[in-house]
Amino acid sequence: MDANILIVDDEPEIADLVEVYLKSEGFTVFKFSTGTQALACVHSQHLDLAILDVMLPDISGFTLCSEIRKEYHFPVLMLTAKVDDMDKITGLTIGADDYITKPFNPLELTARVKAHLRRYTRYNEPNKPADSRDILDFNGLVINRATHECWLYDKPLNLTPIEFDILWMLFEIRGQVISAERLFESVWGEKYLDRNNTVMVHIRRLREKMGEPSRNPRFIKTVWGVGYKID
């Protein structure tokens, strides 16, 4: 799998270890220790995925992620030394697709990188023909799985691959409730763990992009204690 991957971490041992594992998989790696250097790389190179440490010597990984999300949609994975849920929620809220807590298994990180790249590749696959099963239309919300495009009242929604997959899954089983556990395991392809707020934060981001009020959303409904649905 050919891909250009950005690594930003001011701990040389960690950055070098991640670089070794990713290069062994055939990836091209751009490695930096500061957010300022990394941001210059983002604007000068074609990147397919970024791995950002939260704690950097100049700007934080959160700030760097926010800057990336202003223009780019490639997957962003956050590395955090904290186990605090708020640190994870912050990363997801500002546009990160996933997070990994230090210390981590390099093989697990590599597996997650591959999974996000596969999703991103599908998301950006050009000229893929669509049939009627690839397009869903409901009350002004249109989603096209073949082109990975989505419109709300004829205005395009700027969705990340993760957000698109969540919305498609909810849309495809419209009227049925799906649990956060099932959503997570289907979209992320990993085992759901207790107190995992990842799905909740991504649902919140989807609602914000759709201009949905959190208390009385028109499309994505919360069924308390059960899960989510579109109806």
Per the model's pLDDT, the better-predicted residue between 18 and 111 turns out to be: 18
Q: What is the pLDDT of residues 69-105, one digit of tens each?
A: 989 989 999 998 866 667 677 778 888 888 888 888 8
CA-wise closest residue to 198 among 114, 85, 106, 115: 85
Report pLDDT for 75: 92
Answer yes or no: pTM beyond 0.75: no
Show Cβ contacts of residue 127 under 8 Å, excluding neighbours closer than 6 positions. none
Give, to the nearest 10 degrees, the angle between helix 198-209 and helix 161-172.
90
The answer on pLDDT for 14 being more than 70 is yes
The answer on pLDDT for 193 being more than 90 is no
